[in-house]
Structure 1
Amino acid sequence: MYRKILIATDGSAVSKHTACAGVKFAQQMGAEVLVLFVAPEYQYPVYVEIIPPTYPSEEEYLVQMQRVGGEHLRPILESAEKSGLQHSGLVAFADSAAQRIVDVADEQDCDLIFMGSHGRSGWGQILLGSVTNKVLSHTQKPVLVHRLIKEPAA
């Protein structure tokens, strides 16, 4: 049914739990897995006139976030490999994680976006915002939302 599934992760415990469920789902479908970590764009400190010497350069920031993103992707990619799935990982940069997830799903010809949800409702959802809700409203692709009722152990 699905050939290529994008699994989005932010490195949180909820996201790792969701990614494991996504790999299992992909295995059931016999689908390829693309794991995506979206890091924020580099921000220049606009609140000071002179950039402090300890503030990372844009190049240092990009290298560091590639490393951090790779660390978040690694266990998910290892799980996909152990499951015998074709897999790849990508660290992307964007100010809007939701829009970048949608764009990557389109660019990489993914059939499905697999994401998590904390299961918050009411004011918690409104105040915190939700990347998942934004993805749902910005894509024409199917989105499978893995909802957690209870926070997983770290």
Structure 2
Amino acid sequence: MYRKILIATDGSAVSNLTACAGVAFAEQMRADILVLYVAPEYQYPVYIEIIPPSYPSEEEYRIAMRKAGSGHWQPVLDAAAKRGLEASGLTAFSDSPALKIVEVAQLQHCDLIFMGSHGRSGWGQLLLGSVTNKVLSHSTLPVLVHRLIKEPPAQ
């Protein structure tokens, strides 16, 4: 039914468990997987007149975020490989993660977006819940929202 599934992750423990469920679902469908991490856009320090030498350049920031992104999606790729699934990872940049998730899913010809109902814990959980709601309201593709029954232990 589904040939390519986008699994959105933010690297949190909840998101990692959701990604594992996404891999299991993809295995049932025999679908390929695209794991997506959306990093915030680079922010110039607007509160000062001169950029301090210790402040990362935009290029340094992008390199660091790509490395962080690959750290978030590599375990998902490894899990997919163990199940014999084709999988790739992508780090994208946007200050609107929901719209970027929808855009990437369309550009990469995905059939389904698989994501958690919430990501980070505490206040961040509310924000990522709103990301899920925005994806649901903006996507023309089917969105499967995975909800954990039990929260993972705090780290």
- Asked if Structure 1 and Structure 2 have the same fold, meaning a TM-score greater than 0.5 normalized by the shorter chain, the answer is yes
Tell me the alpha carbon deviations over residues 91-119 of structure 1, each in whole angstroms, 9 at most, x when there is no partner.
11111000000000000000000000139
Match of residue 5 from structure 1: 5
Structure 1 outlier segments of 4+, above 4 Å: none
Equivalent residues, number: 150
Give unmatched runs, 5+ long, in structure 2: none
* Alpha-carbon offset, residue 150 of structure 1: 3.0
Distance in 1, Cα, partners of 2:148 & 2:22: 13
Structure 1 length normalisation: TM-score? 0.92
- Code of the aligned partner of 2:111: D
* Alpha-carbon offset, residue 148 of structure 1: 1.9
Give me the CA root mean square deviation: 1.8
* Alpha-carbon offset, residue 49 of structure 1: 1.0
Indicate the SS of the match to 2:37.
strand
Contact 1:30 1:85 in 2 (8 A): yes
Contact 1:41 1:94 in 2 (8 A): yes
Match of residue 49 from structure 2: 49
Indicate the SS of the match to 1:5.
strand
Report sequence identity in percent.
71
Structure 2 length normalisation: TM-score? 0.91
1:106 maps onto 2:110 in alignment: no
Match of residue 34 from structure 2: 34
Match of residue 66 from structure 2: 66
- Code of the aligned partner of 1:94: S
